[in-house]
Amino acid sequence: MSNVTLRNVRKTYPGGVEAIKGIDFAVDDGQFCVLVGPSGCGKSTLLRMVAGLETITKGEIDIGGRVVNDIEPADRDIAMVFQNYALYPHMSVYNNMAYGLRNRGMPKPEIDTRVREAARILEIGALLERKPRQLSGGQRQRVAMGRAIVRQPKVFLFDEPLSNLDAKLRIAMRVEIRKLQRRLNTTSIYVTHDQLEAMTLADILVVMNGGMVEQIGNPLEVYRKPASTFVASFIGAPPMNLITLDADEIRAQFSGDARANTEAGILGIRPEDLLISTEAAASGGLSLDLVVDAIERVGAETFVYGARARHGEPAISARPGELPPGEVIVRVPGQNAPAVGERIMVTAPRERLHLFSADGRRRIDL
Amino acid sequence: MVERQGIRGLVAHLILWVGIAVVAFPVYLAFVASTQDAASIANGQMSLLPGGHFLETYTRTIFVGTSGSTREPVGVMLFNSLVMALVIALGKIAISILSAYAIVYFRFPFRMWIFWMIFITLMLPVEVRIYPTYKIAADLNMLDSYAGLTLPLIASATATLLFRQFFMTVPDELLEASRIDGAGPLRFFWDTLLPLSRTNIAALFVILFIYGWNQYLWPLLITTRDDMQTIVIGIRKMITTSDALTEWPMVMATAVLAMLPPVLVVIVMQRLFVHGLVETEK
Ligand SMILES: Nc1ncnc2c1ncn2[C@@H]1O[C@H](COP(=O)(O)OP(=O)(O)OP(=O)(O)O)[C@@H](O)[C@H]1O
Ligand SMILES: [Mg+2]
């Protein structure tokens, strides 16, 4: 059994920075857990605490039924893949992989078997005698993986292992990591800030924000039912449209529902759930009049940016990276899209609407 | 190059050649003088071409020594100098790499305080602290011993500083990967940090070897016995005040011999650098 359990884990750095503010979650044996969140939210800190590279200020970390708070990294039965790979520059690929095993006093023939097996799986058999500097980024990445595999640990820890690769290789390696993890069936914790990586790799997704867990769950579940506006805008690209429920014409659509009327303050609709249509949505659904102000074609799909027509307010960007108030993104499959300046109506059925409390911290299920 | 840059290149090369000649001529002269007989040098009729006394002078210099002023053969002096330069160079490297390791990788009380202490000693070269150092060496019975020749010169702020700066450029993840791989502090030092420092060690060795070889003031103070003399002191002692008694060919031969080991060290190290036996691995 190699499950990982975190119980009310906290971390305060010596300088007084409170990086982790009480986190609980459990990863079952063989599961692939992805920690995702914006930069500085404490993902690396948390992972390094599991690895034993960072002390635990409070709480407990349990690996395979053993509290590891005071156990050295080498004795925790984990292996870690670093963002910059951290290969020993003066050792050959073979020695990079064998080093940890030698330190544990493993007999030579067994080391050799393990290294060659890992090299075969990762297809780096021809590179064993090379030094890291003679390898490409992708090959280094594989060696770093190899170093983790040969240890046959209870838990793999990955800290943004793909972020130094180019886009194409990143996708290829992403698939490969997933396959490898399935094949070895080793519990894994993987840190990334790329929501696509998070969605595709995870068995369980942990969305973090400001040192706390915002939501935990199956990735599709998180996508379907984001627990807060933070999760809603973080998971899914382009992000979910969030509209303040101040305008009466929108609020009126929920007239039948008391909770929606009283508690809800923000309405969310994913760009892919909006449909350009000529007739208003069925009762309870949402209809918006938009004036198209920009079009982005990426081939398989087209993103239509529209300003809410009846609002009439000018589109001013609120914060960098955020849509201006009143701006709505619509995802249209294919390449057919309305022209810029055109007036369109978009609709979404009731079951695709998300409601959040006015502060955005709570989801309201109808 | 010369063809492409025409006359300007030619002039530049000419200047360089003149420079080399100016620097190299005295060395050449020393060698020539060491191969002539004493009389012709003494009365100023030295030829500019090597004479016929090469073997005779050098054998006598190395194995017998001058007849008057110093009674030890230069071979002994060479050995003393070699021991001194090697112990100082290796000792400095060993001590400074260890102290830099402690300062960079360990958290202990007064760490920065200690670092600044070491740093401040940079401002106190041997000459400045020579009296107290001599007193201590004398009280510890280290006069006329290899320990006395070398130990006081070993502590080195410069090398410590250099290694500290280098260690700070080594990514933290290497240490972390080592910890996960089950390497303790000593293993990490031995298996990772030391091999990564090879280039720095080699370069420092050259500098420190020459520093140790060229020491003059300290050996002059600390050694009185002839068989503990270093070659630099030996040359000085061979030159007596009366010109006629100075055996110039042997003095020059000693000077040439004194130059050889540092040159050899530079050449050998150069080879290592060129052949990539020591190279940066980052
Ligand atoms: N050694 C440290 N000392 C003090 N504060 C630190 C230290 N390391 C990280 N922090 C702080 O802790 C917080 C979390 O950092 P962490 O590196 O875990 O973020 P992250 O989620 O991994 O971000 P990124 O995606 O950019 O890697 C940040 O506010 C950071 O400034
Ligand atoms: Mg990080």
Weakest mean pLDDT among A17-26, B195-204, B239-248: B239-248
**Per-residue tokens: A169:** 């290789």
Q: Does A90 touch chain B (CB under 8 A)?
A: yes
Domain contains B36: no
Question: Are A150 and A258 in a shared domain?
Answer: no
Q: What's residue A192's pLDDT?
A: 94
Q: What's residue B243's pLDDT?
A: 61
Q: What's residue B205's pLDDT?
A: 92
Q: Does B277 touch chain A (CB under 8 A)?
A: no
Question: Are A64 and A158 in a shared domain?
Answer: yes
Question: Are A35 and A173 in a shared domain?
Answer: yes
Q: What is the mean pLDDT of chain A?
A: 88
| Chains A & B: contacts with CB separation below 8 Å | 60
Question: Are A327 and A218 in a shared domain?
Answer: no
Question: Are A140 and A286 in a shared domain?
Answer: no
Contact B281 A133 (CB under 8 A): yes
Q: What's residue B64's pLDDT?
A: 80
Domain that holds residue B75: 54-281
| Residues whose CB is less than 8 angstroms from the CB of residue B263 and which lie 6 or more positions away in sequence, other chains included | none
Question: Are A181 and A143 in a shared domain?
Answer: yes
**Per-residue tokens: B280:** 């940066």
Q: Which residue in the block uniquely carries the two structure tokens 């040359």?
A: B235
The number of domains in chain A is 2
In this predicted complex, what is the ipTM? 0.84
Domain contains B24: no
Query: Which CATH number characterizes residue B98's domain?
Result: 1.10.3720.10
Q: Under a CB-based contact definition with an 8 Å cutoff, are residues B249 and B238 in contact?
A: no
Query: Which CATH number characterizes residue A30's domain?
Result: 3.40.50.300
Measured distance between the N- and C-terminal CA atoms of chain A, rounded to whole angstroms = 40
**pLDDT (average), residues B11-18:** 93
**pLDDT (average), residues A78-88:** 94
Which among A233, A252, A270 is the end of a domain?
A233
Which among A198, A233, A268 is the end of a domain?
A233
A33 burial (CB, 10 Å; 0-12 / 13-18 / 19+) is buried
The number of domains in chain B is 1
Question: Are A16 and A158 in a shared domain?
Answer: yes
Domain contains B39: no
- Reported as a single tens digit per residue, the pLDDT across A106-134 is 999 999 999 999 999 999 999 999 999 99
Domain contains B234: yes
Cis bond upstream, residue A219 (ω within 30): no
Contact A131 B281 (CB under 8 A): yes
- Reported as a single tens digit per residue, the pLDDT across B62-101 is 888 777 655 688 888 999 999 999 999 999 999 999 999 9
Question: Are A89 and A102 in a shared domain?
Answer: yes
Question: Are A261 and A276 in a shared domain?
Answer: yes
- Reported as a single tens digit per residue, the pLDDT across A137-162 is 999 999 999 999 999 999 999 999 99
Pocket of ligand 1 (CB under 6 A): A 13, 15, 17, 19, 37, 39-45, 193
Domain contains B47: no
Which among A215, A233, A251 is the end of a domain?
A233
Domain contains B243: yes
Weakest mean pLDDT among A9-18, A183-192, B219-228: B219-228
- Reported as a single tens digit per residue, the pLDDT across B140-155 is 998 899 999 999 888 7
A32 burial (CB, 10 Å; 0-12 / 13-18 / 19+) is buried
A196 burial (CB, 10 Å; 0-12 / 13-18 / 19+) is middle
Question: Are A156 and A284 in a shared domain?
Answer: no
Domain contains B84: yes
Question: Are A203 and A261 in a shared domain?
Answer: no
- Reported as a single tens digit per residue, the pLDDT across A307-319 is 876 554 444 444 4
For the CA of A17, the nearest atom of ligand 1: 5
Domain that holds residue A222: 4-233
Contact B182 A82 (CB under 8 A): no
Question: Are A183 and A275 in a shared domain?
Answer: no
Q: What's residue A51's pLDDT?
A: 95
- Reported as a single tens digit per residue, the pLDDT across A228-263 is 999 999 998 888 998 887 655 566 666 666 666 677
